[in-house]
């Protein structure tokens, strides 16, 4: 059967990262031409090289999703080397320690405490909060403004945003990241409605817990054993394991392909049952 993705141009922001490089590989294996955009140019190049060495078509492009000029320059490179964009994956995102409290619950004693490293709600740095909101929300909005214009006249176009478990219910300690991903889920629905008459579909993946560089220190100790938080997560994941990046690709291919052509505005949890489980 002919692939849905043969010669489709896919732009993946954050494509040099753990989850999105796996998505890039999966789409390239289906015959797509993939542009890997990342702040870390070397990582983008490495992922593109890996794909081309396996016979796929890919380019790495240095790009900052928070900078319109940088996005426009990347757009020119994509147009020249691959053509207009058919599928945009807004993958760049993440948390920041300055938007994170050190404890899940505030206790009275914390008011007077001089414990080193204690960061309560009252110590949160607005700059850290802004960083996280900008990276996740503005960092999805700006690339969409730049690349979606290509898609308006191209049948079968799709935008995929990356939400998270914390969008459904906030996770302890990470108010900025939770709020920013909730905004991504909301934006996915808004944009799906806004673009519905153009034929561009807009959907999101909501990955559960995947052990990656961003959360490794939150979930595992230096000896590889689980932290208390890592254990709590697995206890609340009915399937009893962390996700593997490859767990995202089946849903991704379905959401950007013809099989889901009447699906728009959904946020799909890929979480081993975490969001369905009440804890008892
Ligand atoms: P990652 O850190 O491996 O990848 C993120 C990539 O984004 C990095 O390569 C980084 O260089 C790039 N990036 C950061 N700022 C950028 C900018 N301003 N412009 C361009 N690129 C930039 O993280 P990951 O775990 O693969 O996460 C990918 C996406 O999935 C993120 O949106 C993340 O929030 C989301 N997510 C991850 C998990 C998880 O468990 N790892 C769970 C839910 C959602």
Contacts of 202 (CB under 8 A, 6+ apart): 158, 159, 161, 188, 191, 192, 195, 264, 265
pLDDT at 183 over 80: yes
Ligand 1 contacts CB of residue 191 (under 6 A): no
Mean pLDDT of 13-27: 98
Ligand 1 contacts CB of residue 91 (under 6 A): yes
Ligand 1 contacts CB of residue 172 (under 6 A): no
217, two tokens = 């220190």
Ligand 1 contacts CB of residue 28 (under 6 A): no
Instruction: Give nearest CA residue, ligand 1 atom 39.
Output: 210
Contacts of 216 (CB under 8 A, 6+ apart): none
Instruction: Give nearest CA residue, ligand 1 atom 12.
Output: 14
pLDDT digits (tens, 9 = 90+) for 38-78: 999 999 999 999 999 999 999 999 999 999 999 999 999 99
Place of tokens 């994941």: 237
Angle, to 10 degrees, between the axis of helix 175-194 and the axis of helix 126-133? 30
Mean pLDDT of 146-150: 98
Residue in 101, 171, 169, 166 with CA at minimum distance from that of residue 136: 166
Confidence of residue 214 (pLDDT cuts 50, 70, 90): confident
Percent of the chain whose pLDDT exceeds 90: 91
Ligand 1 pocket test target in 26, 214, 246 with most atoms within 8 Å of CB: 214
Tell me, in angstroms, the distance from the centre of ligand 1 to residue 105's CA.
Answer: 27
| Residue 235 CB neighbours (<10 A) | 11
pLDDT at 101: 96
pLDDT digits (tens, 9 = 90+) for 260-277: 999 999 999 999 999 999
pLDDT at 209 over 80: yes
Task: List domains and CATH numbers for the chain.
Answer: 9-276 (3.40.50.720)
pLDDT at 145: 98
Confidence of residue 1 (pLDDT cuts 50, 70, 90): low
Which three-class secondary structure state does DSSP give residue 267?
strand
Ligand 1 contacts CB of residue 63 (under 6 A): yes
Whole-number average pLDDT of the chain: 96
């Amino acid at each position: 059967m002919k692939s849905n993705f043969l010669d489709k141009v896919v732009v993946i922001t954050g494509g040099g990262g753990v989850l999105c490089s796996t998505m890039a590989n999966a789409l390239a294996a289906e015959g797509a031409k993939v542009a890997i955009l990342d702040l870390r140019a070397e990582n983008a190049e490495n992922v593109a090289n890996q794909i081309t060495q396996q016979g796929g078509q890919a380019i790495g492009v240095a790009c900052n999703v928070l900078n319109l000029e940088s996005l426009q320059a990347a757009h020119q490179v994509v147009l020249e080397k691959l053509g207009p964009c058919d599928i945009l994956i807004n993958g760049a995102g993440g948390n920041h320690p300055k938007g994170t409290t050190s404890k899940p619950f505030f206790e009275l004693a914390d008011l007077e405490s001089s414990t080193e490293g204690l960061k309560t709600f009252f110590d949160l740095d607005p700059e850290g909060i802004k960083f996280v909101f900008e990276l996740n929300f503005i960092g999805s909005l700006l690339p969409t403004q730049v690349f979606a214009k290509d898609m308006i006249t191209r049948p079968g176009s799709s935008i995929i945003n990356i939400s998270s478990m914390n969008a459904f219910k906030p996770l302890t300690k990470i108010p900025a990241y939770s709020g920013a991903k909730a905004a991504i889920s909301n934006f996915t629905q808004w944009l799906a409605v806004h673009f519905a008459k153009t034929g561009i579909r807009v959907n999101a993946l909501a990955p559960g817990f995947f052990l990656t560089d961003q959360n490794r220190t939150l979930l595992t100790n230096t000896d590889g054993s689980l932290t208390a938080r890592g254990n709590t997560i697995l206890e609340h994941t009915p399937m009893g394991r962390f996700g593997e990046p490859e767990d995202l690709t089946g849903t991704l291919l379905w959401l950007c392909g013809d099989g889901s052509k009447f699906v728009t505005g959904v946020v799909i949890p890929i979480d081993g049952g975490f969001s369905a489980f009440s804890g008892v």
